[in-house]
Amino acid sequence: MSTPHPPSPSHNPPEPVVASEGWGVTHLFFHLRRELLDDPAHAADDFVKRVEAFEAREDYQALAFSVLGQKADLGLMLLGPDLGVLDAFTIELAASPLGAALLPAASYVSLTALSEYTSTREDEAQRLVEEEGLEAGSPEHAQALAAFDARMAAYAEHRLHPRLPYRRVLSFYPMSKRRGEQDNWYLLGFTERKRLMGGHARVGRSYRGRVLQLITTSIGLDDWEWGVTLLADDPKAITDVVYEMRFDEVSARYADFGPFVTGLILKPGELISRLSLR
Residue positions annotated with a catalytic role: 173
| C-beta separation of 158 from 253 below 8 A | no
The kind and range of the H/E element at 139 are: helix 139-160
User: Rounded to an integer, what distance in angstroms lies between the CA atom of residue 158 and that of residue 148?
Assistant: 15
User: Rounded to an integer, what distance in angstroms lies between the CA atom of residue 233 and that of residue 201?
Assistant: 21
User: Rounded to an integer, what distance in angstroms lies between the CA atom of residue 249 and that of residue 71?
Assistant: 30
User: Within 10 Å of residue 149's Cβ, how many Cβ atoms?
Assistant: 12
**CA-wise closest residue to 259 among 134, 154, 132, 174:** 174
Sequence length of the chain is: 278
Tell me the C-alpha to C-alpha distance, in Å, between residue 11 and each of 8, 17, 86.
9, 18, 19
Tell me the C-alpha to C-alpha distance, in Å, between residue 15 and each of 48, 81, 83.
27, 13, 10
With left for phi above 0 and alpha for psi between -120 and 50, is residue 87 left, alpha or beta? Answer: alpha
User: Rounded to an integer, what distance in angstroms lies between the CA atom of residue 84 and that of residue 214?
Assistant: 22
Amino acid at 33: R
User: Rounded to an integer, what distance in angstroms lies between the CA atom of residue 17 and that of residue 15?
Assistant: 6
Q: Which residues pair with 61 in a beta bridge?
A: 79
DSSP state letters, 159-174? HHS------SEEEEEE
